Structure 1
């Protein structure tokens, strides 16, 4: 008994009190709400749909409190100001802060980024009294900033006799509110509105004072452990609004389709609230309109008890009007909306208020293991999206939302998972209007407690905290057609609280949307068994093989990964591999890329330049997970990254495939992957190209191919020659005939490049011209007309090349073997910098074994260098063949020993040119950066530009700027003099990088040490251009990968394993007065 008594330090009596057992005496001690997981709000209004009523006079009776507030930040709760909420308390000397804003973005305290730990209880870097990790429900006391907000406002005198409310769109993490010195309530749950009835406290026609006390960390923080910046404050709008005593508190619209998916079914439920002290009658009129033309008008009268509430069910009233014929269904492809107007009149027929909202008719259901919209299996080509603004943190404007919407629509993205919390109300409205499917996610993640017995999902004491967030989400967003799936949260374990949450979300949604949760796997990762409380199989980060595995099985639920293709830094590899598999199997219905936008924050460096800050860039000694939040396919300002082009291509809704090419007629299979759109909506164009020039344009006759089907068309290419050494490509493009929401007329929605068969090999002639050979103690010199090539006998390298007096090789930077690249974030994740470090050593320290010279029968000279790569037990051989015309043919052979178990990051050569040779022209894949596992969006073409523009400024510097399948490339000066490289290897050419930076400039370590701290705190602005042009001419480098960023390698087919030989050949040719046409001709001679 004594042992039991001592171990029970605290005994919970109620939500508000604890009994502290000390010396046998019980002392009552009040527990503040922000330390009590059972309390999620006091005096907070019930959740409701978002709407703005209008009075008969056209007034909204709304007053914005956005703007400047008085502000004071205290280090912890003990130091916060007392009674500051009293109007008599002077705040004259307080600072001001804008609302909405994260206070950390306004110079108060610092933003913290960690992925899954709790920032206030990160055992790696403790900043509070928590030294050994989280201890729920305890929250920090020693360091826990508390913000005190104050502002005055005047309520119009016309609001007298009405009900006045205050709306706070999002406050993180918990807060108390006072009006005119009187406590109005308490709230937590930061990404949903908190509303309070402040009628008893506010004085119409007079100055009023509102005060908030906001805690950075509270028990609510245990459910808000998301992978984003941990910041605080009033993050969304604040408004005061007024309603008549009898008013519409809430309404639910169920607008679906009938069983044959042709006609509309409408059900409406309205909640009336009566704040009068006697019963009141009210009449609700409902009008359904299309473009201002009424389609349906009904009404119903109801009595509401004094200080009571009544739900008005319109089922019987509407029954005689159903179904609604001629209704245009809503989908992401056709976001048809209707206006629904609710008008409330009192018993005398006086109009009290009117609410107008937009609704869409669509059905969402799961049948036969498939997710159906309007009876059709759909494909979700989605992204995860955080609420992020590089200027203001978590405060997002409508302008930025529109930028997101338009970018998504125009890049074949049709779905968003609101990871991992509800977005602002306006986001849902825009998605309704423009056509984006939403997986609407509750603000729940307790990742830092993981998924075992400590998981809060399994603790019944936290049930209300979980369920309240889920239910309020449904209550807010239930009327939006764009919301097709509810998500209970993310990475918070599974257990009784999510079982209860699943039931609660189902019970509060009459539309019957599916409910999903990603943490329902039972047993091993990607097992076929899943818990019952998710209607969809939503694993995280399956590789293509796992997609294939699930696709081959009969599933009782759709398979739609909630996160896949982790896009951290230079990533996005194997994206087309995913979609080749998805398109093969009906139950693979898409997925959601992690994620949409980099979460960099603009910060100004000591040099005055702005850069994107990430974890570790704020404060001293703060916990950090570095740049792990830089995962977007667009930068923080929404500038596209190269991955976005690959996503658009992989997500295309139209596939073109060459079935046959005979007698200059191409037979093309055209596949319509749209769910609701006929291909007749698009204009299909074709063109034949060679060497970057269009030889013939054609428009394909209109193809009225229905959704989910295909057809065949033939394209006559008569008149196209077949010149030896020339490749011919058929380019097919699908463009919109008409504008649609978010997509303009003539917008490119799909395209394909097909290399036509029948390529004729070029006949390579031996270049003429006599050569002189000279050898001295340190060099080998080969001289011909207009050129002089010098080789170092100590290094085995071509160290100088003079062409008509111009030096084409920068001193000290002649061609040399290169097996390394600046590690990408995915490389760090799979420990490439450590596992493959011997290849960096081999690059830096090749040991010349021998150097031989041979005069060939045709008069050319061959210089052969063999290097031992002792760290890898391998060798590299280059045979330089200098021809009479000054061209130098490089034949390179890597004998990669199987004793070195790691794959080879890069197989190639690198040289540097003087800075003046910065004009790049090439014939290969482009124009954007591409890699062997991310290049289907980069078509073969003729591209040109400045070498400096090839650099891609990833937030954390890393490998960038590569081009694949390069047939030839040239670097010249303004006069057209320089080098041209032509691939002599059978296949599709070499890979190439050209820019005024060395590879080491992007490397996170200049030496060999990559541990234990693997990445330097480095940013794009830290990389300065050099007075040179680096030119990598490679057989290739490993793919960038795209499964995840914490272990997965690039797929095997995109790597260079050891235990085999690699050979490739290219020729360097000096050129002058070079033009693209001239160089295309030169390329055919080598």
Structure 2
């Protein structure tokens, strides 16, 4: 009997992260020649990783029958295979380090000509990102292989380069042992997706350097030192430093420190006899002294977002213009910090953060979340066989990004459990770069990190942490260490669909407790993939739209931007909550209080503009005289307007802080912050005079401008405007992602169990009185003994029809209501909307800080927010009146007594509830108008806490009063 020894594992199933690669180093540009290899490559996709190369790596191979593919790109987005989305689950069996035999493998070929003036000497082939494992040949000779998809890889290639034509061949595997380390919440996409370059490395050049630029906030001086492998000289003309030894410690200054608010960069040149490298120097010091995260001696308040790299057409392939657009949008929305979830970004993004000013937590390309589903058994974070692979990932990130002043923390990764390998990563990083704190969220003991980090902690837990009253852990030493750390929420306020709610309450906690230093909203952008129908209809796909067997649906659509980078209402809310200047007008005292919450910048670059509106129309305006407020400063400024208006129309004072000149990130006049206050009190609206209903022919009852069915009491028309669906109690909304709560406590489940999506109404009585009409009914669902007792009281005069809706719960309701109001249907031509109330965007009880009181116009179609999964959206809050007009000006005016919410759309709530994508919604021959007393709040229970108690719509007795006036 013979035995067969097991074969050595293939490189793509090896615990070793790479072979044949160069040591990691900083990424920089110099005056040494380089050759951009990004372009169209030859490409073929094979079904398995173990298929022979067939000699494709040889220069003479005939690839004329192959397809072409751009580099950088993901092959699934160019017709080769399909995207797949999972949040936690691995899309293959958990059998480390093995992967399936069915392993799509892409072969790439690029023939290039070496420029005739390319210098002799060392040369490096650099890949900035390849997913997930790749092997490389140059002119038929193997260079090695590498893993670490979002990290750079370099190979020495000088001996293999030829004058003239060269052949570069790359084999990329979709799955590898490294895939177990890259289980981030995102699409599984493969290929060479970042830049490829050939770099000349002159002998005696600057192969690597570490720029140390500290700042002493007590003296205002900077300290500059550059560690290099080769003797080098540094010149910074602005600082009077000329051709000085780079390795020496140079005290310079006074200098202007770098911060996200004041991103001052000094331009210099680092040089040897063989190479010159332009450097941008930001002097700043980061520490956690006294249990507080500080920069340049001042506590930080992180107003942050998590940012995946995403584009709806190219996936994680981003050009410079797209990265710049992200940075500008962040700055324009008062965001000051980014966590690079969950991997190092394209290095150009960090250059932009340096230039425009964003604090950055740079996160290692490590996540093993899928092991949680098997009890963390065999988790690589605690398996010594994975030690070198995890540590190499940390080294490659730190070495690549160490010279960016915007990077103020290193993160070991995300949702990778606990274990010895994480500790080893932290220990190496602390030794290599003691000037930056270390972050990791997944270990509650926090023994090897410098900040205490949590995800989605509810408000009450954040308050407890702020008071140093959080629950303890088993190890007393670790517990004491954690309690001495500053606290950040690395993820909070899950921005999925409508929402998120509760932002303002989180911010209040951050500003109340010194230990609570802000956090990072999840996340920046929806990861929708653009799809096109044959008729040209565009929509955005999410999990399950590409035939995946295992997927997590639209959980990939949880951003503050829609996939095409349209800001969502949630981003507008975040901008308001993150305002760096607090503006509090107080008409009673005739002053406005201004507070500068910036830590480093004063307000000298801002202009403060005021205006007074009467029912939304500006009647007076001007500019306040405000001396520059220092960081943290406050002042009270007298208002140049009387506290009580001379008119009985509702008047509001508005004060805005705008840029007083163009900035790199926004134009002159860009609004940074605003506040408003009502002047005087609102005059009560006159009640309609009572009018007895009159019965006409054919069962029609007339009451003022309204006509009713005399038998049922159902409203048919108002002043000739037909009402095709009678006014009826409305308790249901198409559940939001936060109502659904895929990873939280679902209130939608409770609502559906109660049958709120299938209510029926039983008329109890129709009563006519001298001054009106009363219709009583009971609303309930099949199989439930719970109900709502409803009374519709109609009255009116010649011009207006008044509805008083009274509701009383019948039975003990166990949960809040989705909404409470009425629904009716209007003719489709009444599609122009004007209203006086909160706007211009949608608002709900816990997300309405960004909606200011004013007069606005939109079309019905413009009122909609096209979330990737259709859901409740488009509500306008605290409306005093709203007009719905046809092109000729006729229509209907609705007034609140005192206010109401409204939404209007061309499809029913039932259709909205059942649609999977916006293009599934078909306009009907009517406008569905929802007039609400209130909505339940939104919260962020899609992956976080639910609605705060003060924003719940409890099923108690309620009254809604509305007046309807025909527009003729």
With the length of structure 1 as denominator, give the TM-score of the two structures: 0.85
SS of equivalent residue, structure 1 residue 943 = strand
Please report how far the alpha carbon of residue 727 of structure 1 lies from its aligned counterpart in structure 2 after TM superposition. Answer: 2.5
Please report how far the alpha carbon of residue 897 of structure 1 lies from its aligned counterpart in structure 2 after TM superposition. Answer: 3.6
- 2:473 maps to which residue? none
Please report how far the alpha carbon of residue 325 of structure 1 lies from its aligned counterpart in structure 2 after TM superposition. Answer: 1.5
**Is the Cα–Cα contact under 8 Å of residues 751 and 757 in structure 2 kept in the other structure?**
no
- Cα separation, partners in 2 of 1:174 and 1:840, compared to 1, 3 Å: same
SS of equivalent residue, structure 1 residue 475 = helix
Matches within 5 A, 1:476-875: 476-509=400-433, 512-521=435-444, 530-553=445-468, 555-618=483-546, 620-658=547-585, 661-662=587-588, 665-718=589-642, 721-724=645-648, 726-756=649-679, 758-759=680-681, 761-762=683-684, 764=686, 766-767=688-689, 772-774=694-696, 779=699, 781-782=701-702, 787=705, 789-791=707-709, 793-794=711-712, 796-798=713-715, 800-801=716-717, 803=719, 806-810=720-724, 813-829=725-741, 830-837=745-752, 840-841=755-756, 844-856=759-771, 861-869=772-780, 871=784, 873-875=786-788
Please report how far the alpha carbon of residue 87 of structure 1 lies from its aligned counterpart in structure 2 after TM superposition. Answer: 1.6
Aligned partners of 1:89 and 1:432: how far apart in 2? 45
Please report how far the alpha carbon of residue 157 of structure 1 lies from its aligned counterpart in structure 2 after TM superposition. Answer: 3.8
Please report how far the alpha carbon of residue 537 of structure 1 lies from its aligned counterpart in structure 2 after TM superposition. Answer: 1.3
Cα offsets for 1:654-702 (capped at 9, x unmatched):
11234x544xx52322211011111233111222222001232232212
Please report how far the alpha carbon of residue 359 of structure 1 lies from its aligned counterpart in structure 2 after TM superposition. Answer: 1.5
- Of 163, 178, 181 in structure 2, the residue corresponding to residue 223 of structure 1 is 181
Aligned partners of 1:359 and 1:822: how far apart in 2? 52
- 2:137 maps to which residue? 178
- Cα separation, partners in 2 of 1:33 and 1:912, compared to 1, 3 Å: same
Please tell me whether residue 49 in structure 1 is matched to residue 60 in structure 2.
Answer: no
Cα offsets for 1:962-1003 (capped at 9, x unmatched):
011111112122232222111124xxx111112222222210
- 1:526 maps to which residue? none
- 1:250 maps to which residue? 208
**Is the Cα–Cα contact under 8 Å of residues 258 and 323 in structure 1 kept in the other structure?**
no
List structure 1 segments (4+ residues) > 6 angstroms apart after TM superposition.
none
Please report how far the alpha carbon of residue 755 of structure 1 lies from its aligned counterpart in structure 2 after TM superposition. Answer: 2.1
Aligned partners of 1:261 and 1:889: how far apart in 2? 71
Aligned partners of 1:533 and 1:453: how far apart in 2? 22
- Of 232, 236, 255 in structure 2, the residue corresponding to residue 284 of structure 1 is 232
- Cα separation, partners in 2 of 1:898 and 1:584, compared to 1, 3 Å: farther
- Of 241, 245, 260 in structure 2, the residue corresponding to residue 296 of structure 1 is 241
Cα offsets for 1:444-468 (capped at 9, x unmatched):
0000002634322111111111111
24-33 vs 457-466, greater mean Cα deviation: 24-33
**Is the Cα–Cα contact under 8 Å of residues 701 and 710 in structure 2 kept in the other structure?**
no
- 1:1066 maps to which residue? 962
SS of equivalent residue, structure 2 residue 570 = helix
- 2:477 maps to which residue? none
Aligned partners of 1:147 and 1:676: how far apart in 2? 50
**Is the Cα–Cα contact under 8 Å of residues 838 and 872 in structure 1 kept in the other structure?**
no
Aligned partners of 1:489 and 1:868: how far apart in 2? 52
Please report how far the alpha carbon of residue 583 of structure 1 lies from its aligned counterpart in structure 2 after TM superposition. Answer: 1.4
456-465 vs 825-834, greater mean Cα deviation: 825-834
**Is the Cα–Cα contact under 8 Å of residues 695 and 720 in structure 1 kept in the other structure?**
no
- 1:18 maps to which residue? none
Please report how far the alpha carbon of residue 571 of structure 1 lies from its aligned counterpart in structure 2 after TM superposition. Answer: 1.8
- Of 30, 34, 38 in structure 2, the residue corresponding to residue 66 of structure 1 is 38
**Is the Cα–Cα contact under 8 Å of residues 132 and 174 in structure 2 kept in the other structure?**
yes
Aligned partners of 1:1019 and 1:470: how far apart in 2? 40
- Cα separation, partners in 2 of 1:719 and 1:587, compared to 1, 3 Å: closer
462-471 vs 685-694, greater mean Cα deviation: 685-694
- Of 150, 153, 163 in structure 2, the residue corresponding to residue 194 of structure 1 is 153
SS of equivalent residue, structure 1 residue 249 = coil
SS of equivalent residue, structure 2 residue 455 = coil
SS of equivalent residue, structure 2 residue 426 = helix
Please tell me whether residue 1045 in structure 1 is matched to residue 947 in structure 2.
Answer: no
- Cα separation, partners in 2 of 1:844 and 1:763, compared to 1, 3 Å: closer
Aligned partners of 2:614 and 2:697: how far apart in 1? 44
- 1:234 maps to which residue? 192
**Is the Cα–Cα contact under 8 Å of residues 456 and 489 in structure 2 kept in the other structure?**
yes
Cα offsets for 1:863-909 (capped at 9, x unmatched):
32222425352223233323231522211122124523122111110
Please tell me whether residue 398 in structure 1 is matched to residue 320 in structure 2.
Answer: yes
Aligned partners of 2:757 and 2:874: how far apart in 1? 23
- Cα separation, partners in 2 of 1:694 and 1:492, compared to 1, 3 Å: same
- 1:17 maps to which residue? none
**Is the Cα–Cα contact under 8 Å of residues 261 and 375 in structure 1 kept in the other structure?**
no
- 1:5 maps to which residue? none
- 2:58 maps to which residue? 86
Please tell me whether residue 269 in structure 1 is matched to residue 227 in structure 2.
Answer: yes
Aligned partners of 1:91 and 1:364: how far apart in 2? 53
39-48 vs 240-249, greater mean Cα deviation: 240-249
SS of equivalent residue, structure 1 residue 498 = helix
SS of equivalent residue, structure 1 residue 576 = helix
323-332 vs 689-698, greater mean Cα deviation: 689-698
**Is the Cα–Cα contact under 8 Å of residues 849 and 868 in structure 1 kept in the other structure?**
no
Aligned partners of 1:941 and 1:416: how far apart in 2? 33
SS of equivalent residue, structure 2 residue 322 = helix
Please tell me whether residue 880 in structure 1 is matched to residue 793 in structure 2.
Answer: yes
- Cα separation, partners in 2 of 1:84 and 1:719, compared to 1, 3 Å: closer
SS of equivalent residue, structure 1 residue 368 = helix
Aligned partners of 1:648 and 1:531: how far apart in 2? 31
Please report how far the alpha carbon of residue 259 of structure 1 lies from its aligned counterpart in structure 2 after TM superposition. Answer: 5.8
Please report how far the alpha carbon of residue 1048 of structure 1 lies from its aligned counterpart in structure 2 after TM superposition. Answer: 3.8
Cα offsets for 1:51-101 (capped at 9, x unmatched):
1221xxxxx411111111111111112335332211222212111111110
Aligned partners of 2:74 and 2:10: how far apart in 1? 24
- Cα separation, partners in 2 of 1:253 and 1:541, compared to 1, 3 Å: same
Please tell me whether residue 77 in structure 1 is matched to residue 49 in structure 2.
Answer: yes
RMSD: 2.0
Please report how far the alpha carbon of residue 751 of structure 1 lies from its aligned counterpart in structure 2 after TM superposition. Answer: 0.3
Please report how far the alpha carbon of residue 763 of structure 1 lies from its aligned counterpart in structure 2 after TM superposition. Answer: 6.3
993-1002 vs 471-480, greater mean Cα deviation: 993-1002
Aligned partners of 1:1046 and 1:373: how far apart in 2? 31
Please tell me whether residue 1031 in structure 1 is matched to residue 929 in structure 2.
Answer: yes
- Cα separation, partners in 2 of 1:817 and 1:80, compared to 1, 3 Å: farther
**Is the Cα–Cα contact under 8 Å of residues 608 and 658 in structure 2 kept in the other structure?**
yes
- Cα separation, partners in 2 of 1:1026 and 1:765, compared to 1, 3 Å: closer
Give the gaps of 5 or more residues in structure 2. 470-482
- 1:896 maps to which residue? 809
Cα offsets for 1:308-337 (capped at 9, x unmatched):
xxxxxx45x33xxx4211211111111111
Please tell me whether residue 168 in structure 1 is matched to residue 127 in structure 2.
Answer: yes
- Of 468, 490, 496 in structure 1, the residue corresponding to residue 392 of structure 2 is 468
- 1:929 maps to which residue? 842
**Is the Cα–Cα contact under 8 Å of residues 584 and 676 in structure 2 kept in the other structure?**
no
Please report how far the alpha carbon of residue 719 of structure 1 lies from its aligned counterpart in structure 2 after TM superposition. Answer: 8.3
- 1:109 maps to which residue? 81
- Cα separation, partners in 2 of 1:696 and 1:160, compared to 1, 3 Å: closer
- Cα separation, partners in 2 of 1:382 and 1:261, compared to 1, 3 Å: farther
Larger Rg: 1
- Cα separation, partners in 2 of 1:639 and 1:774, compared to 1, 3 Å: same
- Cα separation, partners in 2 of 1:343 and 1:160, compared to 1, 3 Å: closer
Aligned partners of 1:924 and 1:992: how far apart in 2? 10
Please report how far the alpha carbon of residue 547 of structure 1 lies from its aligned counterpart in structure 2 after TM superposition. Answer: 2.0
Aligned partners of 2:147 and 2:690: how far apart in 1? 82
Please report how far the alpha carbon of residue 770 of structure 1 lies from its aligned counterpart in structure 2 after TM superposition. Answer: 7.2
**Alignment length (residue pairs):** 948
- Cα separation, partners in 2 of 1:493 and 1:941, compared to 1, 3 Å: same
- Cα separation, partners in 2 of 1:876 and 1:791, compared to 1, 3 Å: farther
With the length of structure 2 as denominator, give the TM-score of the two structures: 0.95
Cα offsets for 1:149-194 (capped at 9, x unmatched):
1111111343353112211110110011001111011111011111
